[in-house]
Structure 1
C-alpha cells in the first residue's frame, strides 16, 4: 500500500442520518472509545499536556510515510480512504454533513508545511474531541475539526473511524513508535538478538541498545537531531574517542535519524570501524535487508583491496 491522491467517496446505499449534538448527556461511550479519548486528550506525544512525552520520530518527515502507513493498517484504512490537503473546501465535506456510511472509515485532513501526517491526524482528532465536535453513529466515531467565524465555518479535518481501530493505532503511537522500538524491529527483521545496553558491556559511553548476530556483537548509539543540523567534526571526534573505550569484540553502530554528516566525518568514522546507519538503511532493514552485514562486507572488501 502507498499514499496517493486517489480519495474516493462512499458508494453506500444505506447511509445513517446523524447530528453532531449529543442527544444523551453525557454521551454513552464504549470502553475502547473512552480509552482512546484518554490517550488523545492527555497522552499523545508532542502536545501541550503535562502528561505528554516528546517523540522525535513522530516529528520526523523522513519516517512519516512508513509510520502513517502503519497507522492506516491499524485503522483498516485504504489509500482511497485518506485525503491530505492544504485547504478543505465545503464541497469536500458536504457529503458527510448529514448522513454517512458506517461501513467504511474515511479521513480528510489539512496538513501544514512542517507537519507530519501522523501528527496532523492526532491533532485533528484531538481537537474535534476536545471541542465536543464529534458523535458516535452506529459504533463509528465521527468528527470535525473546525474553526468558526461570524458567518462561516472553516473545515480543517474530518474523520469517521472505528473506535477499536483508533485505540489500536493510538497504542502503536504510545508504545511502538519511538526510536528504540523501531530500531529493535529493524534489527529483529534481519535476525539479530537485540536488547537494552547494559553496563556490563562497556563503561565509557551511554549506548542505547546491544545487538548480536552469530559471533558478531554491536553497541548501538541513537542520535536524534534537527533535520537540517550539520553535525560538527569536533563532536564526531569526541564520539570516536568514547567508542574506542569499548571492548574490542563489540563494533559501534551510530544511527542518525534526521541530520547529516560531512564527508570528512563519515570517512573518519569508517576509518575507526564505526558503522553508520541513516533513515534509508533502517527502512531497508525493516524490509529484511541486513544493511549492517552489507556495510561490514564492503568495509572488509575495501580493506583487502588496500592490502593487495
Structure 2
C-alpha cells in the first residue's frame, strides 16, 4: 500500500472514506466489502495502517480531553475519559477521514470541540477480521490495537459498616469518578505536588456516631498517602438511585479536599461530570447471609431452636438486608 502521506498510506484513507465518516454497521459494510476483495497481505497492511493512525492519537494530551457522543444532548455534560471511551473516540476520529484525523493529531483540543460517534467505536477494530473471514472463511488473528495506559495516582477502597446496605449506584460512581480523575491531566498535575506517588482513599459508610465523631485520619506510608474518613450513611439509604451516585462523587471530592488541605496541594481542579447511572447495573453481592440462612446454619451446628431464637433477637436485622440499587 502506498505511503504518499506521512505516517499512513493514501490507499488506507481512500478505503476509510468509504465509511462516509461513520462507524455503524451500515456505514462499515462498503469498507468490509472492499477489504474482502484485497489479498491477505493488503488486508494485513490495512490493519497496520489503522494501528499507526490509532497510535498517533495515543497521547496524554488527547486522553485528557472530555468528549461528547453524537447520541447525547450537545448541551449536556461531557463524557469523562476512560480506556473504553478513549479507544472509541480514537476510532471515531480515524473514521472521520484524513483531514479530521490530521487536525486532531496536531490539536488535541479538537477532540473536545465536536461530538463523536462513540457508541459503535469498537466495531472499527474488527473490520479487517470480518473482511478476511468473509473472503476466506477463516479467522485472521491480529494484534490488538494499542491501549493508552495512564498511571493510576489514586484508588478508592469502599467500606460499609454493619447495618449499612451496599448500593450499586454508589459503588459504580465511586469507581467511575476514580477512573476519570486518574485520567485527568489537571488532577495528575495537582497530585504531582504530593509527597508520595499514590493516594488511597478509604471511606467508611456508617451510622455509628462514635465512628463519625472520629473525623479523618491521614497516614503517610512509604509509597502512599492514606486517608480514612467515616461518612454518614443515613442520607445514602434515603436517597434515590442517581442521588446515591452523586453522593459518591461528593464523598470523593470531600476526601480529596481534605487531603489537599492537609498536604497544601492548592485548589482542587474541576471535578469531571459523570454520565447518568446505567440502567443495567448489577446489584452488589450481599456481604453476609440473610437472617433465615444464618438461622439454618446455626441450627445445623446443633444449637436448639430456643437458644437460636434468643441469640438472633440480639442481632441487628439491618445488617442482613439485601444490597440495594
Q: How high is the TM-score relative to the length of structure 1?
A: 0.27
Higher RCO (C-alpha 8 Å, min separation 6): 2
- Choose between structure 1 and 2: higher helix proportion: 2
Indicate the structure with greater strand content: 1
User: Over alpha carbons, which structure has the higher Rg?
Assistant: 2
TM-score, scaled relative to structure 2: 0.26
